């Protein structure tokens, strides 16, 4: 069974080896990674990993009409690894698949949902929780407090990435879900959420979020370390978004994701397996040196940004802002109702 993870990166070399080690331990057999505009050696690291047989690397230079992420997805549609895969998932480097079923592997998840055509992996936000300085330590160990498993608001807490069976039901890849359903096949598609609950038929054709307020994490969740340390977040804001049309990384993005309500260390069950792989990768003299160089680049870049007023001010606001509190149910329902009303009225903004 070939399981393909697709990734796009820019200046993420300091985090790449941890991400790769974890997802190899989880059971992904193939990795298709696109890189663009790298200053920290990410592209060189990917070339070395490709030479060692760990992944396939595709440079993705601009310009891009719709941003680097969509350009990468269009190229991935045509790639031999995509055509050969039995299951596919598109991920970002701050997203970690966290399987609770069986032994924590993709095989265990598929065994728990043998009829599934697709399994939406709903995000679980892991907050910053007061971590100021960037450290060269695995993010899965540094950030262990998260949003509640079932949150009505913000609705982005219910967004998902889709692990789907590559059987011809869909013709194109997408950021959150596969696209271009085949009319002859789509009627037989079955979608189950991360708790194993069958989803309504319209999920086979559309939707990018599971029903807000439901616990969709009992079998699998997608740990989303969107913030990281405050210093790293400033660098992330300077880098910009992979999707040209997306809003910038600012204090509003931070507030909507900095939840520290519950401790969740469940991903640690994979630490021994992923740690062994990470040690193997770091032992390679070329990869080890590239990782150290990326860490040094990251620290120097953070220092340089602190000399610029806009980024220094953002850093200060991050330190002033406490972790976000989940809204009480009545207020969360009120926000959901307002979003539904806006959608019904035809608001073109970001509503549910």
User: Which whole number is the average pLDDT over 153-176?
Assistant: 96
Name the β-bridge partners of 30. Answer: 4
Alpha-carbon gap, residue 129 to 316, rounded angstroms:
15
Give 249-267 pLDDT, tens digit per residue: 789 999 999 999 999 999 9
0.85 exceeded by the pTM? yes
The tens digit of pLDDT for each residue in 16-37 reads 999 999 999 999 999 999 999 9
Q: Beta strand pairing status for 118-125 and 220-224?
A: parallel
| Token output for 104 | 């924590």
Which pLDDT score, from 0 to 100, does residue 243 have? 53
In a domain, residue 19? The reply is no
Q: What is the pLDDT of residue 244?
A: 46
Domain membership flag for residue 305: yes
DSSP structure class, residue 190: -
Residue with tokens 């992944």: 55
Would you place residue 344 in the very low, low, confident or very high pLDDT band (cuts 50, 70, 90)? confident
Mean pLDDT of 89-118: 98
- 127 phi and psi angles, rounded to 5 deg: -80, 170
Host H or E run for residue 76: helix 68-77
Give the domain range for residue 230: 91-344
Does any domain span residue 59? no
The pLDDT of residue 352 is 45
CB 254 within 8 A of CB 134: no
Q: Is residue 55 part of a domain?
A: no
Count of structural domains, the chain: 1
pLDDT at 347 over 90: no
Residue 137 domain-assigned (yes or no): yes
Structure tokens at 351: 């509503």
**Burial class (CB within 10 angstroms; exposed 0-12, middle 13-18, buried 19+) of 174:** middle
pLDDT for residue 239: 84
pLDDT band at 247 (very low <50, low <70, confident <90, very high): low
Residue 179 three-state SS? strand
Tokens matching residue 243: 């999707």
Euclidean distance between CA atoms 237 and 220, whole angstroms:
29
How buried is 119 (Cβ within 10 angstroms: 0-12 exposed, 13-18 middle, 19+ buried)?
buried
Residue 37 lies in a domain: no
Whether 21 maps to a domain, the answer reads no
Cβ 179 vs Cβ 162: under 8 Å: no
Domain-located, residue 83? no
- Evaluate the CA torsion angle 126, 128, 130, 131 in order and state its sign: positive
| Residue 44 near residue 290 (C-beta atoms within 8 A) | yes
Angle at 303 between CA 302 and CA 307, to 5 degrees: 110
**The pLDDT of residue 241 is above 80:** no
What tens digit of pLDDT does each residue of 63-84 get? 888 889 999 999 999 999 999 9
Cα–Cα dist 245/243, whole Å: 5
Does residue 351 register a pLDDT over 70?
Answer: no
The encoded tokens of residue 302 equal 């953070």
């Amino acid at each position: 069974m070939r399981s393909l993870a697709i990734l796009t990166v820019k200046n993420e070399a300091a985090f790449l080896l941890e991400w790769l080690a974890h997802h190899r331990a989880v059971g992904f057999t193939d990795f298709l990674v696109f890189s663009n505009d790298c200053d920290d050696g990410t592209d060189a690291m990917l070339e070395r990993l490709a030479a060692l047989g760990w992944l396939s690397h595709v440079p993705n230079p601009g310009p891009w009409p719709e941003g680097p992420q969509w350009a990468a997805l269009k190229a991935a549609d045509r790639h031999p690894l995509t055509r050969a895969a039995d299951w596919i998932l598109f991920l970002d480097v701050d997203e970690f698949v966290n399987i609770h079923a069986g032994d924590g592997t993709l095989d265990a998840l598929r065994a728990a949902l043998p009829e599934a055509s697709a399994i939406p992996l709903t995000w679980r936000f892991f907050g910053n929780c007061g971590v100021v300085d960037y450290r060269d330590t695995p993010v899965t160990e540094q950030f262990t407090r998260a949003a509640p498993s079932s949150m009505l608001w913000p609705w982005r807490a219910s967004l998902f990435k889709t692990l789907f069976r590559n059987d011809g039901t869909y013709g194109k890849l997408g950021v959150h879900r596969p696209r271009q359903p085949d009319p002859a096949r789509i009627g037989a598609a079955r979608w189950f959420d991360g708790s194993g609950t069958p989803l309504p038929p319209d999920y086979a054709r559309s939707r990018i979020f599971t029903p807000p307020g439901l616990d969709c994490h009992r079998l699998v969740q997608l740990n989303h370390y969107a913030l990281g340390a405050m210093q790293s977040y400033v660098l992330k804001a300077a880098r910009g978004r992979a999707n040209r049309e997306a809003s910038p990384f600012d204090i509003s993005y931070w507030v909507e994701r900095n939840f520290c309500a519950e401790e969740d260390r469940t991903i640690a069950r994979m630490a021994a397996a992923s740690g062994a792989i990470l040690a193997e990768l770091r032992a390679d003299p070329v990869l080890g040196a590239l990782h150290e160089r990326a860490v040094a680049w990251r620290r120097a870049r953070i220092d340089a940004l602190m000399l610029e007023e806009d980024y220094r001010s953002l850093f200060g606001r991050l330190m002033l802002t406490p972790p976000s509190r989940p809204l009480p149910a009545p207020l969360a329902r009120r926000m959901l109702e307002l979003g539904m009303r806006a959608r019904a009225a035809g608001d073109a903004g970001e509503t549910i």
